[in-house]
Structure 1
């Protein structure tokens, strides 16, 4: 049969009569590589999909796979190819071993019958039979003592006579206790009768569902009769006690609010005093760094240290010995060419140690800068260890090898220990948290004050000056004089 593009009526070229089974019921929606695409139910009825051919024990030929006669458009599977069953190949019969395996997968493990579908355990008939047997056994089993007898127990309670008597006795006890509870004043030590048990019992009988045998308790206070639970003297005493507790709670709440406000006021005064003292303390220095990024291995490309008076003690670029990412350069404006002739961190470290020794080091977001210093100190000590272990030219390669290793007790651990020892000897104070609390931009989402941007321009010395500006803004309202003892 020709596989070229069909005519509008889709009659094969070898046929001249209009056979209804071979004529399309509608016009094609589209053409794919010259082959018509029909909507569902509009293709020539004699064409079949691969699934339909397989149901008729037929296989598509290679020619059919390469050039289908038509397509049918479906919502879930797209355009499905259609083939002529007359040119398809008959399937070879399945081997007996394969047939046996297929039969075994459809055989019920309980009754041994072969079903039409693959089974994963017993068939549905066996499962239904087992469930009915379980229900019959449950009906013959006492819910109290689990005794099994020949005849089913009553559906109302499903108990033997002894267990039924115990159940009724327990229910009567609960009812009697409930009647006493709802008809006697609940005041401490009071035995005044508020209502009749007959009325309460009638109220309970009107709500028969509350006496269901399956319930283990009686209605709670929200379902109790609407008469008063306390006699007039007890009700008056109860209201007085409630009023006393409300007044005590209100007093405690107001006292806690005053104490909280006082603590906040003292904390605000302490922040202002702390900033004012830091501005006149000669032992205060401000430190800031610029780095190659925000990741854990970021290197320092600039570091600055200023005194509390704003004098520049250290302001230098550092060669990170690795390329500076473009996104980092766009923030602080420092490029590889700027740091090509700059000293390394190891060369600046002696000056940094001398400037910070015995000083109060103020940093805006100290966690980040301290971690960058920790990383640089670790690399510095590793380079020293590498130089001691071999030639200076191989020191950097040796450092890389140590960092890539998983040894937790080698040179890397020793270098981190030395870095931590020096950092722990410093007196570092954060400025970001006190300044953010002083601004007081409260965030309901985070449950604290929002961190404030520094606004120093992302250069180390300018950021240090911005930190001093934050301190001046905080300490400008400190009215009390500062004596030498406060500065010390």
Structure 2
């Protein structure tokens, strides 16, 4: 179809038609695709009488529900994809806007400076007023002295923008800087030396090639950037300077090597101390290893299993505990202890006397001691709340703050029980011995304990960690182990 034919077909479309004509009959361009049976045209190739929803809104027309569901065509755009096209003849006219809404829309397009109505919404003065203000500011700046801020009718010279007096002061300061610079670059920089190292004429020539160095705004530049290509020192002073620099470098290198040697020695001594500590713990009859399994990792978690193993591997205590609350499923997935397993087991209060007899007078080693000690503290606090000291609970029962007083007393009793014990952490020494450094945390990564997540198994895993750490000194501490074993047999 030719352009003339398409124009005639477009002109022949009656504006009052109720059924839209086929869009493909009103344009000479073929669609590039189809979308649900509706043709999709390139930009500028759609029928001229069709409009987008935005174009219809600009003409105060609304798209009907039928038009929204069944567009006549689509126009393909890069930013918005395929945009539906509708027939304006079938659209509905918008309701007239209220006068208050029109007034608000007009106010948003009215300039606050000149009062003129613009085509776009304004956020402050219009562009014409802003340009006028900027021209006035630039004109005032050109007529203001950069030195004394004096304003005159005619603009100051663009080169310096100063009045005559300020220009004289500027030139005097520049000459002073030039003279000072010439002395610095033509006289030896050695201490107390006044030998000439270059001519002022050559320095002035060099300065003309680098005029930016002595501008007023460049006075903050370091003097190390102001030297010409010749040396700053005479030969004797340069030799002395080089010797001094070499001496300082040698001192710095020697200090660094000395400090590095001391750091290596400290690390070696710390590593030896950790290994000896582990080897000695394995042969110490007063050493026991404690571990617990809990209902979670939060601050209110309860103990569900507790085990204590001696340094020789003898199980001194290994029992399940009834926490008095359901065990979460995610915790059971880790250690395998369920509510059915702890049903009928002793409570922590019932086990406390036995636990105290096992731990008192012993060195209690724990992997991640801070966590297990806090679980013990929580259990002890609950125990002393349920079993208050004789007399104190009765005296405070009638008071309004009796619960607070009872809790404070229970915490004091729990702290006293823990203070009577001697706890030592194994996780941090063992992690430092492994030496898996983390740049993110700034220390060695904590190593997981491969004990199966059961209390007795974790205690045995702690003993294996101690054996690995103290392997280098195991033979040295073997006689002590034999003596301890024979003493134990005689005592039995």
Could you tell me whether the CA contact under 8 Å between 1:60 and 1:89 is conserved in 2? yes
Q: Summarize the Cα distance change of 1:24–1:337 in structure 2 as closer, same or farther, 3 Å threshold.
A: farther
Distance 2:29 2:225 in 1: 71
Q: Summarize the Cα distance change of 1:62–1:414 in structure 2 as closer, same or farther, 3 Å threshold.
A: farther
Report the alpha carbon displacement of residue 464 of structure 1 after superposing the two structures with TM.
0.8
Could you tell me whether the CA contact under 8 Å between 1:71 and 1:81 is conserved in 2? yes
Counterpart secondary structure, 2:168: helix
Could you tell me whether the CA contact under 8 Å between 1:28 and 1:36 is conserved in 2? no
Q: Summarize the Cα distance change of 1:19–1:131 in structure 2 as closer, same or farther, 3 Å threshold.
A: closer
List alignment gaps of at least 5 residues for structure 1. 1-8, 391-401, 403-407
> Is 2:29 the counterpart of 1:29?
no
Report the alpha carbon displacement of residue 74 of structure 1 after superposing the two structures with TM.
4.9
Question: Higher mean Cα deviation, 35-44 or 230-239?
Answer: 35-44
Could you tell me whether the CA contact under 8 Å between 2:24 and 2:30 is conserved in 1? no
Q: Could you say which residue in structure 1 is the equivalent of 2:421?
A: 426
Distance 1:263 1:120 in 2: 68
**138, 141, 144: which is aligned to 2:141?**
138
How many pairs does the alignment contain? 457
Could you tell me whether the CA contact under 8 Å between 1:21 and 1:45 is conserved in 2? no
Cα deviation 1:411-470 (Å, max 9, x = unaligned): 666655554443344321111121222233444554433333322222111111121222
CA-based RMSD of the aligned residues comes to 3.5
Q: How does 1:333-372 map to 2 (within 5 A)?
A: 333-372=336-375
Q: How does 1:40-59 map to 2 (within 5 A)?
A: 40-41=42-43, 43-59=46-62
**319, 329, 337: which is aligned to 1:326?**
329
Distance 1:441 1:51 in 2: 64
Could you tell me whether the CA contact under 8 Å between 1:306 and 1:464 is conserved in 2? yes
Counterpart secondary structure, 1:374: helix
Q: Could you say which residue in structure 2 is the equivalent of 1:276?
A: 279
> Is 2:476 the counterpart of 1:474?
no
Could you tell me whether the CA contact under 8 Å between 1:360 and 1:428 is conserved in 2? yes
Cα deviation 1:256-301 (Å, max 9, x = unaligned): 1222222222212221221232223332221111223334443322
Distance 1:331 1:20 in 2: 69
Counterpart secondary structure, 1:316: strand
Could you tell me whether the CA contact under 8 Å between 2:32 and 2:42 is conserved in 1? no
Q: Summarize the Cα distance change of 1:306–1:91 in structure 2 as closer, same or farther, 3 Å threshold.
A: same
Distance 1:219 1:475 in 2: 59
Could you tell me whether the CA contact under 8 Å between 1:39 and 1:74 is conserved in 2? no
TM-score, normalisation: structure 2: 0.82
Q: Could you say which residue in structure 2 is the equivalent of 1:313?
A: 316
Q: How does 1:13-162 map to 2 (within 5 A)?
A: 22=26, 25-27=29-31, 29-32=33-36, 36=38, 38-41=40-43, 43-65=46-68, 67-72=70-75, 74=77, 76-77=79-80, 80-162=83-165
> Is 2:189 the counterpart of 1:186?
yes
List alignment gaps of at least 5 residues for structure 2. 1-8, 394-400, 485-492
Cα deviation 1:90-111 (Å, max 9, x = unaligned): 2233233322222111111111
TM-score, normalisation: structure 1: 0.82
Q: Could you say which residue in structure 1 is the equivalent of 2:5?
A: none
Q: Summarize the Cα distance change of 1:20–1:122 in structure 2 as closer, same or farther, 3 Å threshold.
A: same
Counterpart secondary structure, 1:200: helix
